Amino acid sequence: FNILLLLTISTALNTITPSKSIKDPDVIISQNGVFRLGFFSLANSSNPNRNRPLKDSSGILTISDDGNLVVSNGKAEILWSSNVTNTVPNCPAFSLWKPRPHFEDPSNAFIETMKISTDVKKGRKVDLKSWKSIDDPSDGNFSLGFEPFNIPEGIIRKKNQLYFRTGPWNGYTFIGLINMYTSYLQGFVVVADNPQQPYCMTHEFYTDSILIYGELDSQGKFIERRWDAGKGNWINKYSSYQTDCDVYGYCGAFGICDSSKQPICSCLKRFKPRNIEEWSRGNWSSGCFRTTPLQCQRDNNNGSGAGQGDDGFLEMKNMKVPVFPHPSSVSNGECKDQCMKNCSCVAYAYDDGIGCMLWSGDLIDISPLAESIFTFVCHLRNSIKGNILRSLLLQQ
């Protein structure tokens, strides 16, 4: 079953020690009665261990001499070990009071105090991996990890393709998550000491009265569940997939995905579908293209490179900003100028936590967020004025 549930058990009364192992069918139950550790039979396999299953009921769970948790079979062959060494990306400590165990293979569950991390320098990652199916814990098609990019984001990949993104981390929240401002998602921490350090993401409530865990299911959906003591059951609180707009790049380049609209995809203002025939059939993958070049593009082609007088910005409020922003150190007031000055800049946005963000190339994965406080502004040929507070500017 899920080895991670041990993190909670380690503080409970019923414990496993080097001298006291658990032998199938024994179980230990955590003090609050919520977690159970032992050997569980799935529909077709007995499986505490994902890719090397235990085939019979001879399993033994022990703590080895070096302090690792080990699953072995009746022939004393080691099938799985927590294999804790110091090779896991060493996230800076930020927990004030909880023990911080390291796990290299967290399976499909994300529980409190656990860390998802990416060490760019060493090329090491700790991410969640989906199961193949509800009763087959071997590795499935999806993984959930943490990408530093230029500005860090949490992401789900399908095989190696982006499948879902949280939007950039601004020091307090992921600005692309719809429900990020509601209380149950508070408690996430992202640590980045400097660009050379690994980035880590963890989740922790400063109280034991809330029990919460997340699971990456075999369909690539990340679901958060909260323990309801009254009902004695786990209740689904959040899902990373609510509409097709949660699928990365659903409407292609320069497309906007709005699940409340029919059709769900539209092009940004002054953009048109690249392939009308495909688009009208509901195949959005080719996205949209700019119908009228920017004045600065025309001037550049004409060798003058001067006037940008006719170029302006379209402001869009409450949007999930596109993927791959470039941070710039300029102030809020200068962010717009920085984008305006550079004809390759297609959009900008400003967030108090992140600062100025600039985009070039295709804009992918834009959608309205009902509860967002984020504004997106587009660069148009004829300026559409708006209150540029935290805005994304699309140069059109």
Q: Which residues bind ligand NAG (CB under 6 A)?
A: 43-44, 81, 83, 87, 132-133, 135-136, 140-141, 218, 278, 283, 285-286, 298, 301-302, 326, 342, 344-345, 360
Least distance in angstroms from the C-beta of 393 to ligand NAG: 13
How far apart CA 30 and CA 336 sit, in angstroms, is 55
Looking at beta carbons only, is 258 or 278 nearer to ligand NAG? 278
Looking at beta carbons only, is 357 or 388 nearer to ligand NAG? 357
Looking at beta carbons only, is 2 or 286 nearer to ligand NAG? 286
In order, the DSSP letters of 314-329 are EEEESEEPPS--EEE-
Looking at beta carbons only, is 162 or 189 nearer to ligand NAG? 162
* 340: helix, strand or coil: helix
Token pair of 239 as six digits: 């899902």
Least distance in angstroms from the C-beta of 84 to ligand NAG: 9
Chain CA centroid to CA 52, Å: 28
Looking at beta carbons only, is 42 or 191 nearer to ligand NAG? 42
Least distance in angstroms from the C-beta of 161 to ligand NAG: 10
In order, the DSSP letters of 218-284 are TTS-EEEEEEETTTTEEEEEEES-SSGGGSTTTT-TTEEE-TTSSSSEEEPTTEEESSHHHHHTT--
Looking at beta carbons only, is 131 or 376 nearer to ligand NAG? 131
Least distance in angstroms from the C-beta of 48 to ligand NAG: 14
Q: What angle (nearest 5°) sits at the alpha carbon of residue 355, between those of residues 318 and 351?
A: 20
Least distance in angstroms from the C-beta of 395 to ligand NAG: 11
Whether the Cβ atoms of residue 255 and residue 288 lie closer than 8 Å to each other = yes
Least distance in angstroms from the C-beta of 250 to ligand NAG: 12
Closest listed residue to residue 50, CA positions, set 21, 71, 34, 29: 71
Looking at beta carbons only, is 278 or 334 nearer to ligand NAG? 278
* 27: helix, strand or coil: strand
Number of H helices, E strands in the chain: 4, 30
Least distance in angstroms from the C-beta of 52 to ligand NAG: 10
In 10 A of CB 183, how many CB atoms?
9
